[in-house]
Chains A and B, each alone.
Chain A
């Protein structure tokens, strides 16, 4: 079991739907990350939150909207997605996000856009 919990594990949605991905950690980490991973590709960074503030947005389309309600929770709100957005979405956390620290990953949400 991982210490970073992501829900749901699988999500199928249409291009007009609105849905949210949720990530939770209780390790006291203050940096949280969203990555997108396509099949047989490495994870690609989307967003970084540090102390509940968005610190990095890797030019992600506005149909992806992150939110960090508190230090333990990270959401990714989805709206009007395209079929090419189908992928594994990984959440990760690290102690502070400043300095050399390992990242702890959840097992991801497998997203399919119809």
Chain B
């Protein structure tokens, strides 16, 4: 069966450190992968998109890697801040479902001062 797994339900790190979140998938052949941030009571907010032929994408303090051989994406937040505390969702876009998104369960990140 198809699965999207994010490494942990919760991740606690100290302010200023780099947070690394993992997204693994099985039995998928995704055309691309997206990362979203969701705050309590709010809808997800798009952060980054990476295509299957791209290895790495950056945006400010965010970096995403995509390894289709390992079937894994890593999401990094450098110089983390308490304001980065949120749930981070990875989502796969599938060619054969009109590019509809399938989401992982998310990782709840807590950055403490």
Contacts and interface: CB of A to CB of B under 8 A. Distances in A.
Contacts of B75: none
A44 to B, nearest CB: 8
A43 interface: yes
A106 B34 CA distance: 17
Interface residues of A, number: 27
Contacts of B43: 2, 4, 90, 92, 105-108
Interface string A96-114: 0111111111111010000
A100 B100 contact: no
Nearest to A102: B46
Interface string B88-112: 0100010001111111111000000
Give the interface size bracket for B toward A. Answer: 20 to 34
A97 B97 CA distance: 10
A100 B41 CA distance: 27
Given A106-B43, A107-B41, A107-B43, A45 B102 contact: yes
Given A92-B43, A107-B41, A101 B100 contact: no
B49 interface: yes
Given A43-B89, A45-B100, A107-B42, 11 more contacts: A2-B43, A33-B100, A41-B105, A42-B106, A48-B100, A50-B98, A55-B98, A97-B98, A97-B99, A103-B34, A106-B43
Interface of A: 2, 4, 33, 41-45, 48, 50, 55-56, 90, 92, 97-108, 110
